[in-house]
């Protein structure tokens, strides 16, 4: 085992890919599928089998082997796949996943017992193999060919010396018959084989015990024949002149001097190039560590810049410029390395949809688009659970049962689409369903019932506002907690998870026609472009991605609306935030920063704009508690700790 330890990571990574392909194609197969899907499944299982056997993970190998037997039959067309078999095979693939978990954790797959599945597969095999097994043996054909062989011996009367050869294949050889065929092939290239015992057909059928006798007419000599018959797994070769007893002078026959060999030496320098390893798999903790170091570099680069500016050291400018460029490149490179395509988590979802739909007795078509869009690994990690929850919701709560759908004049099969694309600053993930939509009235009455809002405010609420209620803690419209989506986690948790990734979530619903969830995520989390502003001499960082405009602030143009001030800017009434409680009172406010979150805008009045900068946002410690309005802090070059404004929670 230990000699394979070095391959464990690689094994797990590739096997997981194969497992994903397996599940993906099995779902295609379930929908009607094609021969390509069957071939792909066969290939995945075959690879899993080979790899697990190589690693010595025998339980996994056993399960895969049996699955392969089943698919061998399906592939050859001698059996068809039933819904029952498909379920069984999916259960098997679940077992494989558990085994891979076990292997990843250092085990050898034996902590998961596949007995039940293997037994069920074997039962299926015995039910379905009855006929084909009988067809395999064809004694009649064998005999006639054997006779043909004899005729050949009589007819072939060359003058060449004849030898009888006895070849014994090693006992521990796998596929003895093929060894025999290889030896026969080698001998045939040197002469004419006059007879076989057992016959060639018997060997072809795989009924070969390990000893082969044959007669050959050849003039290359005993030694050459012996060399030709000898090979891997050949225990012994006995050779003797046959009947005629005509001794043959043994001469050097062969072709030692091969031109290719000379070639080999000459090219050996070039080969080293081919041996270069092009891809490496790196432990993610090491990448995280490098990322931290890059962040430190970014902070210190800022410090260096400031020191040089303050002290007007010209000589340092050039050096700092170089460092600046290197650090930027390094930072970009690190960002790219950490990017993973969304398929990483998308690929698991068709299975989830299938399971939920089957459990609920629904028929759902699930489409994925844009899985190649890339996200930072840290964002990806936090996205898995919320996405899973939303998908379950869409099928469980969104899509109606086929009967209800048909009554409503819709096709019985529901439609759920998950798509992703990259916009200028964000990755947008969209989840669409053509289900019943969100029942706004039900949402409102539930919220009133739970004391989250008053009856009066419910009456004046817009649809958008009512839908937002879904995200309040403690809200759930499902009357009963279902096994599937109601695991005690509500949309509020989904919202919080997405916000902790510096993303946002939005819902649109169309009663009777379906819902649309939109997730807006930053492709990376750690390094953000910000605008540094000052209010009351203190600094504040505002993410550039949420700024839409910087305008002049004329105090006389403000209007009092309710409790706050507002300004009319380009025909829009925008609320003004002074942030007095955070930054202190200031008299010198001259600039308005207009910020936007989704469709809502507001503005922040500041004294001056200092400039744009790339900063590393460090999250606040949980000890600090509720910090609405601040997403984290950053350390600027001069060591000042500056809060980073969280626009999402302000507007």
Partner 1 sequence: MGKILIVDDTLFMRTLIKNILFTGGHSIAGEAGDGEEAIAKYKELKPDLVTMDIVMPKMNGIEALKGIKAIDPAAKIIMCTAVGQEQMVKLAIKSGAKGYIVKPFQAPKVLEEVKNVLAS
- Residue ranges in contact with partner 1 by CB under 8 A: 7, 10-11, 14-15, 18, 40, 42-43, 46-47, 49-51, 53-56, 65, 68-69, 72, 174-175, 177-178, 181-182, 185-186, 204, 206, 228, 230-233, 260, 263-264, 267-268, 271, 274-275, 279
| Strand-pair partners of 514 | 510
Q: List the 591-597 sheet strands across, edge first.
A: 547-552, 591-597, 600-606, 572-577, 564-569, 558-561
Q: How far is the CB of 440 from partner 1 (least distance, A)?
A: 50
How far apart are CB 646 and partner 1 at their closest, in Å?
Answer: 43
**Least distance from C-beta 336 to partner 1, angstroms?**
21
- CB of residue 262 to partner 1, shortest distance in Å: 12
Residue 426's contacts (CB-CB under 8 Å, 6 or more residues apart) are 503, 520, 521, 522, 523, 545
For residues 249 and 270, which CB has a smaller minimum distance to partner 1 in the complex? Answer: 270
Closer of 173 and 316 to partner 1 (Cβ): 173
Q: Which is nearer to partner 1, 33 or 231 (CB)?
A: 231
**Cβ closest to partner 1, residue 279 vs residue 599:** 279
Residue with tokens 């001698």: 78
Q: Which residues contact 245 (CB under 8 A, 6 or more apart)?
A: none
* Nearer residue to partner 1 within complex by CB, 231 or 629: 231
Query: Residue 32 is encoded by which pair of tokens?
Result: 């009607």
* Least distance in angstroms from the C-beta of 600 to partner 1: 49
Q: Which is nearer to partner 1, 228 or 642 (CB)?
A: 228
- Nearest to partner 1 of 47, 378 (CB atom): 47
Angle at 630 between CA 624 and CA 633, to 5 degrees: 75
Q: How far is the CB of 104 from partner 1 (least distance, A)?
A: 14
Q: Which residues contact 200 (CB under 8 A, 6 or more apart)?
A: 145, 149, 184
d(CA 460, CA 396) in angstroms, rounded, equals 30
Give the nearer residue to partner 1 in terms of CB position, either 191 or 414.
Answer: 191
Task: Cis check for the bond before 571: say yes or no (omega within 30 of 0).
Answer: no
Q: How far is CA 341 from CA 344, 345, 369, 642, in A?
A: 6, 8, 12, 33
Spatial distance between the Cα atoms of 145 and 202, rounded to a whole number of angstroms: 10
Question: Tell me, what DSSP letter sits at residue 187?
Answer: H
> Residue 81 to residues 17, 29, 117, 125: CA-CA distances in angstroms?
23, 9, 16, 12
Distance (Å, rounded) from C-alpha 55 to C-alpha 57? 6
Cβ at position 61, least distance to partner 1 in Å:
8
Shortest spacing between CB 92 and partner 1, in angstroms: 17
């Amino acid at each position: 085992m230990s000699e394979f330890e070095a391959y464990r990571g690689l094994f797990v990574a590739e096997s997981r890919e194969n497992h994903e392909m397996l599940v993906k194609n099995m779902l295609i197969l379930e929908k009607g599928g094609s021969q390509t899907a069957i071939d792909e499944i066969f290939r995945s299982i075959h690879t899993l089998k080979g790899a697990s056997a190589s690693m010595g993970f025998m339980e996994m190998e056993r399960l895969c082997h049996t699955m392969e037997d089943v698919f061998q039959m399906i592939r050859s067309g001698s059996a068809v796949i039933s819904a029952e078999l498909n379920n069984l095979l999916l259960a098997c693939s679940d077992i494989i996943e558990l085994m891979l978990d076990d292997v990843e954790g250092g085990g050898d797959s034996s902590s998961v017992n596949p007995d039940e599945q293997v037994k069920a597969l074997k039962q299926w095999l015995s039910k379905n193999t009855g006929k084909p097994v009988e067809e395999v043996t064809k004694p009649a054909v064998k005999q006639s060919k054997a006779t043909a062989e004899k005729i050949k011996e009589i007819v072939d009367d060359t003058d060449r010396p004849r030898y009888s050869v006895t070849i014994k294949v090693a006992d521990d050889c796998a596929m003895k018959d093929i060894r025999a065929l290889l030896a026969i092939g080698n001998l045939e290239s040197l002469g004419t084989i006059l007879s076989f015992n057992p016959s060639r057909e018997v060997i072809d059928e795989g009924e070969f015990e390990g000893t082969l006798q044959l007669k050959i007419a050849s003039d290359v000599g005993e030694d050459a024949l012996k060399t030709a018959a000898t090979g891997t797994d050949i225990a012994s070769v006995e050779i003797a002149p046959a009947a005629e007893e005509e001794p043959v002078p043994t001469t050097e026959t062969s072709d030692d001097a091969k031109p290719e060999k000379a070639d080999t030496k000459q090219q050996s320098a070039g080969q080293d190039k081919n041996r270069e390893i092009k891809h490496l798999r790196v432990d993610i903790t090491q990448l995280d560590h490098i990322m931290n170091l890059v962040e430190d570099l970014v902070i210190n680069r800022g410090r260096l810049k400031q020191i040089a500016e303050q002290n007007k050291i010209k000589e340092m400018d050039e050096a700092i410029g170089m460092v600046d460029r290197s650090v930027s490149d390094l930072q970009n490179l690190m960002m790219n390395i950490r990017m993973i395509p969304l398929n990483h988590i998308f690929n698991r979802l068709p299975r989830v949809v299938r399971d939920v739909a089957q459990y609920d007795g629904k028929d759902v078509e699930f489409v994925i688009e844009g899985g190649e869009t890339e996200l930072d690994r840290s964002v990806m990690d936090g996205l898995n659970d919320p996405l899973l929850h939303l998908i379950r919701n869409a099928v469980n709560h969104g899509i109606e049962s086929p009967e209800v759908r048909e009554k409503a004049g819709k096709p019985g099969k529901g439609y759920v689409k998950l798509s992703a694309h990259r916009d200028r600053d964000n990755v947008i993930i969209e989840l669409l369903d053509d289900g019943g939509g969100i029942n706004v009235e039900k949402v409102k009455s539930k919220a009133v019932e739970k004391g989250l809002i008053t009856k009066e405010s419910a009456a004046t609420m817009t649809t958008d506002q009512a839908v937002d209620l879904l995200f309040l803690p403690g809200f759930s419209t499902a009357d009963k907690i279902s096994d599937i989506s109601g695991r005690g986690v509500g949309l509020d948790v989904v919202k919080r998870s997405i916000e902790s990734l510096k993303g946002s979530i939005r819902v649109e619903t169309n009663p009777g026609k379906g819902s649309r969830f939109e997730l807006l995520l930053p492709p990376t989390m750690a390094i953000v472009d910000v605008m540094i502003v000052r209010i009351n001499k203190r600094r504040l960082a505002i993410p550039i991605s949420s700024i839409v405009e910087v305008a002049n602030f004329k105090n006389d143009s403000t209007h009092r609306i309710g409790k706050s001030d507002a300004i009319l800017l380009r025909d829009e009434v925008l609320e003004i935030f002074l942030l007095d409680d955070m930054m202190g009172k200031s008299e010198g406010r001259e600039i308005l920063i207009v910020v936007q979150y989704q469709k809502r805008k507001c503005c922040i009045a500041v004294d001056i704009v200092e400039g744009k900068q790339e900063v590393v946002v460090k999250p606040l410690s949980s000890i600090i508690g509720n910090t609405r309005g601040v997403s984290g802090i950053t350390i600027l070059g001069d060591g000042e700790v500056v809060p980073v404004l969280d626009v999402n929670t302000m507007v």
